[in-house]
Structure 1
Amino acid sequence: MGSLASDERELSCYDTVVSNGRTFLPLITYYDAEEDDHDDDDDFVFSIDSSLLVDPQNVWLGKVTGEGSNSIVHEGIYQSKPVAVKIFQLHKTSGISRRYKENFQREVTLLSRTNHENILKFVGACIEPTMMLITELMRGSNLQKYLWSVRPKCLELKLSISFALDISRAMEYLHANGIIHRDLKPSNVLLTEDKKHVKLGDFGLAREEVVDDMTCEAGTYRWMAPEIFSQDPIPFGVKKHYDHKVDVYSFAMVLWELLTNKVPFQGRRNITVAYAAAKNIRPSVEDLPEEIVPLLKSCWAQDPKARPEFTEITVFLANYLNSTEVIRPISTVVDMEQVEIKSNKDYSAAENKDNEIEKPYVVKIEEVGNNLNKDSSAAENKHHEIKKPKKRNCYLPNFLSCFGHRFSSWKIFGLCGK
């Protein structure tokens, strides 16, 4: 991240900073006048390493760039550099529930330990006067808004595969380090300013993989793996057994979106999407590149054991991208120079409309089983450093056997073709 332009001017009498025509206000002015709603029953004590914390007086907030159910993201300035500032709950920390404090601490801890070119870079965090996460600023918006901006056309196929490869590499890194994301979807994938690469963000639901049960129905229904969802009414906080393969299912839905520029299960409400996935119903693969269809079906298989590892997915996508002329009919390809990302407000109507369209044609993939994988090996420990990447069983030869006709001339680590 580069420093701000040299013409940056501090206007101390107004407590603002003006940079490149944008006005930034100090973070502390947002909370100075707010009443302290301290919960005396809340004895939660943060255990975030002090080296990760920053002085809130050095944080300045600009325009809002994104909003979630429990947070809001601003463009900001920290130490004269442009950053993204994610503020949780919009209340003083003393008025926030213990559960949200625990989630915030876990997100800060996990993100701060990552170091990968396709994962959002951590800058710092604050716990007072409010919970706040500072990261690098991604000026290309998120993948969801980007796809909306080019509809009804599709992205160039090569670009779609390139984005999918970036995501797969990020997920491969997380899984190698025992981290499950649990909320992989287009709105959590961020574009670089040149819109040629993407990075994975929002670790709000991420956690270290454990052998014991984990919270069920974590994530977003439209991209949620069926083993996380419960078809029977359950109390809040009930746990189920699942593993890192839930991210592979979510990846399949994102890949399908990249190829079609459509919403998975378009026309269905969120809860009905979960029921459909539980019944092994998947989006249509009609008109998709025939070489990609087996990969999609493997990734969204009903049985988690049948889904490939991201190491295998990365190998496939890299070779597919590099060894073939990846093209799409010109009439369906968007002119990248004409793309303009709109403001947040421009998409609210479009998002609602997506849920009202008639039910799409879907195909039913052959059910391959319902056994859950109970072989995860990472132990839960909130405060240890990331361990040396663990080695998972690789079934690359078997996984790629269904692509034999395509890989006959490829030399993938000596596993495919001669």
Structure 2
Amino acid sequence: MDSAGGRARSRSFGASAAVDAAVFVRAGPDNEEYVRADRIDLKTLDAQMEKKRSTVWLERQRSASPRPSAALLEWEIDLAKLDIHNQIAQGTFGIVYRGTYDGHDVAVKVLDWGEDGHERTMKHREAFEKEVAVWQKLDHPNVTKFVGASMGTSQLKIPKKSSGSSGDHDVPNSCCVVVVEFQHGGTLKTLLYNHRDKKLPYKKVVHLALDLARGLSYLHARRTVHRDVKAENMLLDRRQRTLKIADFGVARVEAASEMTGQTGTLGYMAPEVLQGHSYDHKCDVYSFGILLWETYCCAMAYPNYSLVDISYHVVKLGIRPDIPRCCPRALAEIMARCWDANPENRPEMSEVVTLLERIDTSSGKGMTPVEDVAHGCSCFGFPRGG
């Protein structure tokens, strides 16, 4: 940088399209061409660099494939086989539709690939790349099956929102899609809400907890951290007999890079995550403890706390959900160990699987006595069995 004129030689920037012709000046005895650094559109430059990075990522994916460059990658879908139907959900990084792929029911997450210069679309691209990189390698009965994805396509047809309208309309901008198997049983959150007035049978609670624990144990064995374990991201099959982990949009491969920052959902986030400290897979163990409590109680943790208050109470005061006195001792101990403030004190998910498998779900086994309740457990504000 020239201190007198605040200029840099243009050749330092190459032929970047982000450097408009208006920023070039000529000066000096040799009439050399310079770039005025204060006139460079850094935001546009960052956007173009992000797009280039995404393109390079895709090219590397293709070069790593033994197939001809014209062929689909192992994880790429054939859009001709994809039919998108109705919208079923909307989240931070896209809209989820129900559809069919090659005759099979699927869920389709559509992320706006967008135009250059939009910071939001850069985040979508990054989320897409990382989700595909993680999800495509997973294969477990308690993990929702990854079907495929398509990057930067403008060929999709999305149904109109109005039920009375006919035909499709083009996606406004190019977009990318992630396609996974559709789970007809809905989310665990919906199941718990539907049982808010009459909690799930203890045997069902343990069964669901085991499914989740086995899925997380599998992920952690592969050094994969989900980072957003919550009831909305747990899906159930058609008969609601099997729970499957879904949504790997913020999942990361452990040790690939240091994990910091408040990633996840308040109420499920471990203290070290809330504080922005470095963390590992034990953040999932903490979230599992909170979700285990919710599954047993069929209620939401911290219902009387604002989102602002949750962080302070969890980190500074060590507040956790109140375990009902009627909760079986074995289950209560797993909850407490999983949400310990110190990650080192939390068990590995493989150990949690073992502990859950040992639980006797026969009626009355391991129950904590409730001397002051005459007609069963009333720890949720309602009597049981009468």
Q: Is TM > 0.5 for Structure 1 vs Structure 2? A: yes
Q: Secondary structure at the match of 1:172?
A: helix
Given that 1:93 and 1:131 are in contact with CA atoms closer than 8 Å, whether structure 2 keeps it comes out as: no
Given that 1:158 and 1:327 are in contact with CA atoms closer than 8 Å, whether structure 2 keeps it comes out as: no
| 1:276 aligned partner, one-letter code | H
Q: Is residue 257 of structure 1 aligned with residue 294 of structure 2?
A: yes
CA distance in 2, matches of 1:332, 1:191: 29
CA distance in 2, matches of 1:148, 1:286: 18
- The number of equivalent residue pairs is 286
Please list, as runs of the form range in 1=range in 2, the aligned pairs for 1:210-359 lying within 5 A after superposition: 210=255, 213-230=258-275, 240-279=277-316, 280-287=318-325, 288-320=327-359, 323-326=360-363
Q: Deviations over 1:163-209 (max 9, x none)?
A: 01000000000000001110000000000110111000000110011
Given that 2:225 and 2:251 are in contact with CA atoms closer than 8 Å, whether structure 1 keeps it comes out as: yes
Given that 2:234 and 2:245 are in contact with CA atoms closer than 8 Å, whether structure 1 keeps it comes out as: yes
1:55: Cα distance to partner? 2.5
Larger radius of gyration: 2
| 2:278 aligned partner, one-letter code | H
Please list, as runs of the form range in 1=range in 2, the aligned pairs for 1:65-144 lying within 5 A after superposition: 65-89=88-112, 92=114, 97-127=121-151, 128-129=153-154, 130-144=175-189
Q: Deviations over 1:51-102 (max 9, x none)?
A: 211122321111222221222111101112211111124x547666323212
Given that 1:182 and 1:219 are in contact with CA atoms closer than 8 Å, whether structure 2 keeps it comes out as: yes
CA distance in 2, matches of 1:150, 1:106: 35
CA distance in 1, matches of 2:242, 2:79: 31
Higher RCO, 1 or 2 (CA under 8 Å, sep at least 6)?
A: 1
Given that 2:260 and 2:279 are in contact with CA atoms closer than 8 Å, whether structure 1 keeps it comes out as: no
| 2:198 aligned partner, one-letter code | K
C-alpha distance 187-218 of structure 1, shift in aligned 2 (>3 A): same
CA distance in 1, matches of 2:150, 2:305: 39
Q: Secondary structure at the match of 1:139?
A: coil
Identity %: 30
CA distance in 2, matches of 1:326, 1:259: 15
CA distance in 2, matches of 1:93, 1:108: 21
Given that 2:203 and 2:361 are in contact with CA atoms closer than 8 Å, whether structure 1 keeps it comes out as: no
CA distance in 2, matches of 1:284, 1:240: 26
CA distance in 2, matches of 1:327, 1:206: 39
| 1:286 aligned partner, one-letter code | P
Given that 2:230 and 2:287 are in contact with CA atoms closer than 8 Å, whether structure 1 keeps it comes out as: yes
Indicate the RMSD between aligned Cα atoms, in angstroms: 2.5
Q: Secondary structure at the match of 2:74?
A: helix
1:274: Cα distance to partner? 1.7
| 1:126 aligned partner, one-letter code | S
Match of 1:208 among 253, 260, 265: 253
TM-score normalised by the chain length of structure 2: 0.69
Structure 2 alignment gaps of length 5 or more = 1-46, 63-72, 155-174, 368-374, 382-386
Q: Deviations over 1:327-371 (max 9, x none)?
A: 699x999xxxxxxxxxxxxxxxxxxxxxxxxxx99xxxxxxxxxx
Match of 1:175 among 206, 220, 223: 220
CA distance in 1, matches of 2:320, 2:361: 27
Please list, as runs of the form range in 1=range in 2, the aligned pairs for 1:152-163 lying within 5 A after superposition: 152-163=197-208
C-alpha distance 319-250 of structure 1, shift in aligned 2 (>3 A): same
Given that 1:157 and 1:327 are in contact with CA atoms closer than 8 Å, whether structure 2 keeps it comes out as: no
Q: Deviations over 1:138-179 (max 9, x none)?
A: 000101112112222211111011001000000000000001
CA distance in 2, matches of 1:51, 1:225: 36
Q: Secondary structure at the match of 2:185?
A: coil
Given that 1:223 and 1:253 are in contact with CA atoms closer than 8 Å, whether structure 2 keeps it comes out as: yes
Given that 1:245 and 1:309 are in contact with CA atoms closer than 8 Å, whether structure 2 keeps it comes out as: yes
Q: Secondary structure at the match of 2:178?
A: strand
- In the other structure, the counterpart of 1:397 is none
CA distance in 1, matches of 2:115, 2:358: 48
Given that 1:126 and 1:132 are in contact with CA atoms closer than 8 Å, whether structure 2 keeps it comes out as: yes
| 1:219 aligned partner, one-letter code | G
Q: Is residue 55 of structure 1 aligned with residue 55 of structure 2?
A: no
CA distance in 2, matches of 1:218, 1:111: 18
Q: Deviations over 1:353-406 (max 9, x none)?
A: xxxxxxx99xxxxxxxxxxxxxxxxxxxxxxxxxxxxxxxxxxxxxxxxxxxxx
Please list, as runs of the form range in 1=range in 2, the aligned pairs for 1:353-372 lying within 5 A after superposition: none
CA distance in 2, matches of 1:40, 1:153: 54
Q: Is residue 43 of structure 1 aligned with residue 52 of structure 2?
A: yes
TM-score normalised by the chain length of structure 1: 0.64
Structure 1 alignment gaps of length 5 or more = 1-38, 231-238, 334-359, 362-418
